[in-house]
Amino acid sequence: MTCLEPSKSYIFRLAARNSIGWSDSGVPSAPVTTKPSGSPKIQLSKAMMHLQQITDSGKPVEEESKTEYDYQIESKPVDWTEGNAEEYYDFISEISRGRFSCVLKAVDKHTDDVFAAKILELKENRKEDVQGEFAALRSLRHERIASLLAAYRTPDAAVFILEKLQGADVLTYLSSKHEYTEQTVATIVTQVLDGLQYLHWRGLCHLDLQPDNIVMSEVRSVQVKLVDLGSAHRVTKLGTKVPVVGHPDYISPEVVSEEPAFPQSDIWTVGVLTYVMLSGTLPFRGQDEHESRQNILFVRYRFENLYQEVTQEATRFLMLLFKRHPNKRPTPEECHENRWLLPTDYMIKKRERAVFLGHRIKEYCEEYHNERTLASQKSTSSIGAKLIKSHSIQEELLTAP
């Protein structure tokens, strides 16, 4: 708030503005008296300063404006910028943490635009992996994949500046609802397949399509994007040996058994995600890790765990994806043609009639994220250690300046 005079009383009324217009003013506040002239200024955190700049500009924040994609990046990829990203960005809060990296919320110092900054340590044994992730990301442009916008490098660390998505991961999104429909699940699966179709066309296999890596890009409609290509590898249609990467519950049987991976290795993971969204449980979870591994290798799962309302078409779709041999699984293009995903009036209405209560997926969501939190706590990386993990705007306001 600017232009206030010292030692005077003010009453405030708040109004909100979006693309439609201004709301009515709220209830007047109690009188607030400003401090005398010469009083010390309140120390604001970076997050509070950022919000104040937005407020003082008087412009509404366009949360869901259409992203303009520069498809020339495909032929003119992003290059490394040698130097420290902190010269150009303020890092506000932690979004997530992995074994060797940390994703922070970053604000451009000149434009106030908000981005996600993935920071990776450049230890000697990690340089090849970081370069591999950069090589995978630098020329990708697709509406279903979070775009790499810039990359900074110092002798100790690499920083990827990525587009900041508005929503949470797909599991958190569904578990926040009292109920959701099979139509919502089909929409998410269709969009994931769109992203995979592009990746496979570019010769890449994601190999780690767990819920954390499928994020809602908007908050008012179902729009998802694939993130984190740290496990991605170039995979041919003839098969390519890859390390055992990804979340144990989502890995395909050929990767588990250290056989060559195929583009359809991602399709298996799509099947696991679909099953989770249609049941609130994992398809191959056993009593212990050994039993879970055997269930994956022998494709042992139960349809009884699916919600009773699940359509027959959805069940058949899962049967199509859960094949032991990758070449027997459909490609993303063939999945799009499956009856369950067809955008016909009949199938849309049938999927919308299948309504699922959200309590089971909420339980699994809590279990999954607790597991991820424990894994991140074992991280040896000290990157972003001084920043809080951001779960809400209230927490961001407490971020140390």
Q: Which residues pair with 119 in a beta bridge?
A: 102, 159
Dist CA 326 CA 268 (whole Å):
8
Which among 263, 114, 273, 262 has a CA at the least distance from the CA of 189? 273
Active site residue 208: yes
Which among 331, 352, 348 has a CA at the least distance from the CA of 339? 348
Q: Which residues pair with 80 in a beta bridge?
A: 151
Task: Say which of 194, 208, 212, 249 is annotated catalytic.
Answer: 208
List alpha helices for 310-358, DSSP H.
Answer: 312-321, 332-336, 345-353
In this structure, what is the dihedral angle of CA atoms 332, 337, 339, 345, given to the nearest 10 degrees?
A: 120
Q: Report how far apart, in Å, the C-alpha atoms of 261 and of each of 228, 265, 338, 342, 377 are.
A: 19, 6, 23, 28, 30
Dist CA 161 CA 307 (whole Å):
40
- Across 333-364, b (16+ Cβ under 10 Å) vs e yields eebbebebbeeeeebeebbeebebebebbbeb
CB neighbour list of residue 314: distance below 8 Å, 6 or more residues apart:
182, 185, 186, 274, 278, 306, 340, 354
- How far from chain centre, in Å, is Cα 307? 26
List alpha helices for 202-305, DSSP H.
Answer: 253-256, 265-277, 289-297
* Cα–Cα–Cα angle for 279, 282, 283, rounded to 5 degrees: 90
List alpha helices for 119-264, DSSP H.
Answer: 127-137, 170-175, 182-201, 253-256
Give yes or no for a contact between 307 and 274, defined as CB atoms under 8 angstroms apart.
Answer: no
Task: Tell me which residues are annotated as active site.
Answer: 208
